[in-house]
Amino acid sequence: MSVVVNRDTFETEVVQSKEPVLVDFWGPQCRPCLALMPAVERLEQTYTGKFKITKVNAAENRMLCAKLKVFGLPTFLFYREGNEVNRLTGDQIRETDLTKAIEAVLGKKG
């Protein structure tokens, strides 16, 4: 199950995480976001123990979205060692795009 993150837990769950993190910014009215949810759940199972998957409900966390410059949905932020290393946004994102981005982050030497 994805870790649900908000402005109060973002620092602990994402920035201070020992493993790389995917932050899925989604909204309950965002059809592309809802369409990608099964893919994100599959990735979660595939990368258990290697990559932490977190979710942020953008509608409930507008201040966090503004702080991180997340202005469109869906948006996926990739963190490694507390720093954003990649970002995917837009309604054309596919599961293969997410997989490639995760693999790229895992392949980086830090």
Q: What positions carry a catalytic annotation? A: 30, 33
Contact of 70 with 27, CB cutoff 8 Å: no
In the chain, where do the E strands start and end? 3-4, 21-26, 52-57, 75-80, 83-89
Q: Report the length, in residues, of the chain.
A: 110
How many CA atoms lie within 13 Å of 97's alpha carbon, on the beta-carbon side?
15
